[in-house]
Each structure stands twice: as C-alpha cells, then as structure tokens.
C-alpha cells in the first residue's frame, strides 16, 4: 500500500506533520462478495461504508459480470465516490471493494484500488491491506518480464505477479500461490476473477481478514477486513481467514488451501488497541471488551488520586471506562468530538491558531472546572496533539491533568501497512517518559506495560506483532528499507 517512489517537495511538503493526525494511520480496508442473486455492488458499498475508518482518501469497487469487469474508483469517502446511479452501472455476480489511506504523496487516483490487470484467463481485480517489504526486488523482477506498471503501489505488483504466473500456463489457484511465495511482508487480499473470489493472508496474518455467510440457499460468502463489514449487510461471521491460508469462493462453495507450510500468527496488536472498530470481533469477543480490560490493567499499574476519568474520543473511551472501573474514579465525558470533521488541508490563519481553533474536540467546562482529571488515550506518536489536549483541559479549568496511555511507548516505525513517522519523529524513541510528560505539560504520565497489553488478549502472546513497541520485526526487513525509517539505529551504528 505504501508508495515505492521517492516523493519530491511538491508531493510531500516539509510541514506535512502539521497536517497529519498524531496517530498511527491504517492503510486500508478490503471487502469481497460472491452472491449471484444479490446486488453485489450495493452490498459492497455498505461493506466499505462500515470499513471507512480504515481509510478515507479513496474508494473503489470492481464487479464481475461473467468475463466483463465493471470498475469505479475515485478519491474521497465511500459516500462521495459512489451514488445510486454509479452503483446501478456495476452489475455482476461478485465484487471486490477497497477503501484506502495513504500518505499525501501517494494520494492520487491512479493509486486507488482495486487494481485491475489482464491475464490469459481474463481480468483480475485485487484489493490489498498491508505492505510488502521486498518491493524493490519484486519490481525489478516484474520489469524484467516487461510488466507495464502504472502505479507506485506494491498492491499493483502483487496483481502483476499473479498475472505473470497465469500467463505462464498456471490456473488461478496455482498462479496466485506461486506469486504469493514471491511476496514478503503483510498482505491481506481479496481478489476477484471471472471464476470466483479469493481471500488470502500472509503467513503471519499481520492484517485481519474474516469470512461471513449470507442467509441464502445456497450459502453465499463475504470477505471483509473486520466483522463490522459483515454486520452492516446482515452477514453472519463464520471465521477468520487463517495466516497462510487462501480461501477460494466459487459457485461450488468455499474451498480452503494452506499455501505456506509453516504459518506463524503475528496479528498486529494495534488492530486490537486502536485500528479496528470496537464492535468488531477478534479472539471471540468485541474489541470494546479488550479495550476496557486494558484500561483496568492500566489502572492497576498506574494508580493516581483524581476526581474524574475521561477518554479522548472515540478511541480512548473504552479504555477510560475500564480505567474508571479498575480505579473507582468516576467516568465522565469531558471532551466532545465533532464527528463530521475529516482530514483537511485548509489551514487556519495564525490568528485562529492563537485563539485556539478547535475543529475536532471541544471541552465541557462545567465537567472539568476545578477537577483533578485522568485522561486516557490509546497512544502518543509525536506528542503534538496530546499537548494541545492537555492545554484545552487546563484552559477549561482542570486543576490537575494526569495522562494514561492504553499501549506501551511507540519507539519503532511499522513496515507492515501502518503509516508511522521515521523513528526520530516518534517522541518515545527520543525522550524518556518523564521528558514526554514535561513536553506535553501533564502532572503525570504512564503507559500500559507491554506484558499487560499482551496478557489482556487472553491468547498466546507470541501470536501478535508488537514491533512498534519493541523493534522485534517478525518479517525480515531489508536493510535499505529499514534504514529509511530507523533513523536512530542508523545514527548509532
């Protein structure tokens, strides 16, 4: 998902950090459906609507009507990209959908998905969540085979790698599996073909992908990044696509193939802490339950004397409720979120900045005035937003502000589909907790322990990727790629 070209100053302005959210950003959401009797385009639209939180910069749907492919993709939110008229022009028996987050430089319609390429067996449409780490080698290999690469995404490279194998004489399954063995990194894929759709996860299952069923006879199947993408269309959650598994959905039903011999589950732990919607199910429960649990653990690990507990809407709220339950300190709403504000590149004037423009969060002064406040958030990346929030609380009359973070300090960048800063921009990589507390101007600061975060899952702790907290990357990252983000390690070597 991440672009593979160097971004020049016009594409990526020097002050871009001022425009970016002070959070890790997910790459995208994927959706697929095989249901010949249904309006697959409209069902995909609603599936993507439920997955909108995973990417807000472009959206696309490809439908297959026999050999013919109908495709529409544009920049913008799902509701902006599609209309009733457009959806009616996307007939078919199966569909693949995608909603995408990207950095500014790659925020171009040419990089929107699904990626559609030709093969000797017909077209394929591919939607990808994740990020490859061997793009340089894969790109060189494809260019040697005279592939016409039109975009700067690794997703298009995966599609062309499959097409090349099929053009060598392999069928859909064999060609796809041969291509997957050429890919290293994180990839959860939904792939449409004239024959059916595939759902695929890399051997570590770093990014999620689930299977659902529609109440029909015969049973029809749905694929989505999260279970909330199933719920919205009335599909019932069946199970996860397993790490290293390919599911093949056709008129004959669902078939499963384990395309790698030694899968090692390493689901991104940030999916559970922040990325996925709280109503989505992972490990047999909603993530709301997990987030409340880590809040209770956080309270046990970092007790504080205070009057109220508040959460940073929306992602910090479940952990704040858990913190309240664990500490006995009453929970209250202290910040109100404007939920109709998306990303904007229209910058406020200097006067607006000086008077404290508040586009996203506004404090409840009568709740906060004269109170010792514990504020819970899911992470701190650069610290810029945290400092503004703390100032907002103090301006509203809070006499003490204690910040609690429901994840460990983020000290390393991600290479598997999360858009994080270079290491020198990660505040916890360059400062101690005491130094961070001073910079964001809180009375105290504490993070959830790494052990507490993993213990709360109730699963084998080895089944999660937590490289952004530890630097222990489960998939080997080539040195040139690693050096591009691991600034501190490079400086110390």
Q: What are the distances in angstroms from CA 173 to CA 32, 156, 197? A: 17, 18, 11
CB 118 within 8 A of CB 148: no
CB atoms within 10 A of CB 353: 10
Straight-line distance from the first to the last Cα atom of the chain, in angstroms, rounded to the nearest whole number:
29
**Rounded Cα–Cα distance for residues 113 and 126 (Å):** 7
Phi, psi of 237 (to 5 degrees): -60, 125
**249: CB partners within 8 A, 6+ apart:** 32, 34, 94, 196, 197, 198, 199, 221, 223, 255
Task: Return the exposure string of 397-436: e unless at least 16 CB atoms fall within 10 Å of the residue's CB, then b.
Answer: ebebbbbbbbbbbbbbbbbbbbbbbebebbbbbeeeeeeb
**Rounded Cα–Cα distance for residues 244 and 261 (Å):** 8
CA-CA-CA-CA dihedral for 326, 331, 334, 335, to nearest 10: 60
Starting from the edge strand earliest in sequence, which strands make up the sheet with 372-377, in order? Answer: 308-311, 372-377, 400-405, 444-447
CB 128 within 8 A of CB 117: no
Q: Are strands 28-34 and 220-224 parallel, antiparallel or unpaired?
A: antiparallel
Host H or E run for residue 178: helix 172-180
Phi, psi of 464 (to 5 degrees): -125, 145
Active site residue 183: no
**Rounded Cα–Cα distance for residues 4 and 155 (Å):** 11
**Rounded Cα–Cα distance for residues 3 and 183 (Å):** 16
CB atoms within 10 A of CB 257: 14
Host H or E run for residue 285: strand 285-286
Q: Which two tokens stand for residue 184?
A: 């290293």
Identify the residue whose tokens are 């759709």. Answer: 197
Size of the chain, expressed as the number of residues it contains: 493
CB 109 within 8 A of CB 74: yes
- Please tell me which residue in 28, 147, 183, 228 is annotated as part of the active site: 28
Instruction: Supply the residues annotated as catalytic.
Output: 28
């Amino acid at each position: 998902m991440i672009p593979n070209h160097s971004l020049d100053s016009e594409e990526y302005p020097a002050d871009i950090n001022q425009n970016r959210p002070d959070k890790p950003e997910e790459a995208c959401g994927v959706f697929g459906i095989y249901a010949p009797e249904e309006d697959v385009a409209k069902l995909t639209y609603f599936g993507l609507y439920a997955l909108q939180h995973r990417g807000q910069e472009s959206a696309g749907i490809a439908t297959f009507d026999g050999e013919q492919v109908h495709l529409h993709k544009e920049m913008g939110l799902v509701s902006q990209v599609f209309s009733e008229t457009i959806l009616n022009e996307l007939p078919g028996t199966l569909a693949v959908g995608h909603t995408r987050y990207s950095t500014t430089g790659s925020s171009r319609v040419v990089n929107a998905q699904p990626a559609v390429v030709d093969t000797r067996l017909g077209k394929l449409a591919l939607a990808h969540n994740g990020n490859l780490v061997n793009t340089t080698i894969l790109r060189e290999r494809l260019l040697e085979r005279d592939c016409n690469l039109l975009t700067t995404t690794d997703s298009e490279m995966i599609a062309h790698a499959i097409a090349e194998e099929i053009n060598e004489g392999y069928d859909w399954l064999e060609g796809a599996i041969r291509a997957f063995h050429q890919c290293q990194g994180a990839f959860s894929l939904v792939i449409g073909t004239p024959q059916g759709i595939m759902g695929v996860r890399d051997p570590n299952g770093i990014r999620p992908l689930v299977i659902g069923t529609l109440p029909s006879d015969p049973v029809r199947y749905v694929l989505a990044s999260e279970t909330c993408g199933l719920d919205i269309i009335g599909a019932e959650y069946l199970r996860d696509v397993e790490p290293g598994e390919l599911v093949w959905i056709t008129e004959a039903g669902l078939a499963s193939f384990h395309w790698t011999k030694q899968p090692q589950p390493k689901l991104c732990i940030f999916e559970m802490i922040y990325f996925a919607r709280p109503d989505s199910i992972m490990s047999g429960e909603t993530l709301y339950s997990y987030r409340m649990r880590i809040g209770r653990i956080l309270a046990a690990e970092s007790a504080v004397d205070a009057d109220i507990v508040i959460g940073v809407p929306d992602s910090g709220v479940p952990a704040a409720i858990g913190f309240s339950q664990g500490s006995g300190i009453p929970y209250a709403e202290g910040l109100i979120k404007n939920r109709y504000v998306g990303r904007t590149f229209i910058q406020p004037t200097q006067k607006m900045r000086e008077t404290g423009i508040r586009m996203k969060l506004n404090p409840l002064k009568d709740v906060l005035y004269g109170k010792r406040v514990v504020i819970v958030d899911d992470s701190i990346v650069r610290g810029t937003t945290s400092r503004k929030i703390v100032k907002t609380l103090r301006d509203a009359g809070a006499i003490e502000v204690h910040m609690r973070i429901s994840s460990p300090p983020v000290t390393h960048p991600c290479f598997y589909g999360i858009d994080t800063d270079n290491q020198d921009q990660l505040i916890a990589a360059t400062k101690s907790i005491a130094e961070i507390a001073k910079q964001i101007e809180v009375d105290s600061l504490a993070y959830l322990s790494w052990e507490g975060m993993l213990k709360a899952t109730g699963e084998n702790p080895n089944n999660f990727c937590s490289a952004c907290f530890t630097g222990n990357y489960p998939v080997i990252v080539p040195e040139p790629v690693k050096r591009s983000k691991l600034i501190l390690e490079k400086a110390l070597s």
